[in-house]
Amino acid sequence: LQKLIYLLQATDDPLIQEQALITLSNSAAFSVNQDIIRNLDGLSVIGGMLSDCVPKVKEKALNALNNLSMNVKNQEKIQVYITQVCRNVESAPLNSDLQLAGLRLLTNMSVTSDYHQKMINSIPCFLHLLSKGTERTQIQVLKVLVNLSANPAMTRHLLRAQV
């Protein structure tokens, strides 16, 4: 895992980055690896890939963070990327794998109300995706919206959103 994280930092080759991110994502299926990746500062390395200009690299980074977000301590570190993830969802092509990867991560990050405030500005985007997206996109958006609606503090923001 340490070598994969180092490899991500050391290369600019998108194909190598993609493969390293896929491997880290698969490794994150095991809780012990989630802790190891966090302790090796892998979350910030993977999070840094969200600003990459190659959509496939961003998508694989989102998938890795999604798997890593199943751990509460990791969520504390991942939450700093929520605004950027929301921007990626908004700017991604409609119904793209990149958009779905971002929505899946936001779903996990919105299971508790800890980070809902960071998603408020994206509510109009979520509602737009609900009306314009394919069934896969709509289902993923609904998961985020259901999580947000479980928080009474979000009611006003959800009802006032301009669509």
Is 44 found in the same domain as 118?
A: no
| 128 class by beta-carbon count within 10 Å (0-12 exposed, 13-18 middle, 19+ buried) | middle
At which of 58, 78, 98 does a domain end?
78
pTM of the model: 0.95
Is 85 found in the same domain as 71?
A: no
Question: Using CA atoms, how far apart are residues 38 and 155, in angstroms rounded to an integer?
Answer: 34
pLDDT of residue 146: 97
pLDDT of residue 152: 96
| 159 class by beta-carbon count within 10 Å (0-12 exposed, 13-18 middle, 19+ buried) | exposed
Question: Using CA atoms, how far apart are residues 161 and 157, in angstroms rounded to an integer?
Answer: 6
Is 149 found in the same domain as 86?
A: yes
Is 57 found in the same domain as 94?
A: no
Is 148 found in the same domain as 90?
A: yes
Is 41 found in the same domain as 8?
A: yes
Q: Where are the alpha helices (DSSP H) in the chain?
A: 2-10, 14-27, 31-39, 42-48, 55-68, 72-78, 82-91, 97-109, 123-132, 135-149, 155-160
Question: Using CA atoms, how far apart are residues 65 and 110, in angstroms rounded to an integer?
Answer: 14
What distances in angstroms separate CA 146 from CA 110, 122, 143, one per listed residue?
9, 14, 5
pLDDT of residue 114: 96
Is 102 found in the same domain as 32?
A: no
Is 100 found in the same domain as 46?
A: no
- Write out the chain's pLDDT in tens, 163 residues: 999 999 999 999 999 999 999 999 999 989 999 999 999 999 999 999 999 889 999 999 999 999 999 999 999 999 999 999 999 999 999 999 999 999 999 999 999 999 999 999 999 999 999 999 999 999 999 999 999 999 999 999 999 998 7
pLDDT of residue 162: 82
- Do residues 57 and 98 make contact, with C-beta atoms less than 8 angstroms apart? no
Is 132 found in the same domain as 66?
A: no
Is 71 found in the same domain as 122?
A: no
Backbone torsion region of residue 112, taken as left when φ is above 0, otherwise alpha when ψ lies between -120 and 50, otherwise beta: beta
Give how many domains the chain has, as a whole number: 2
Range of the domain at 114: 80-162
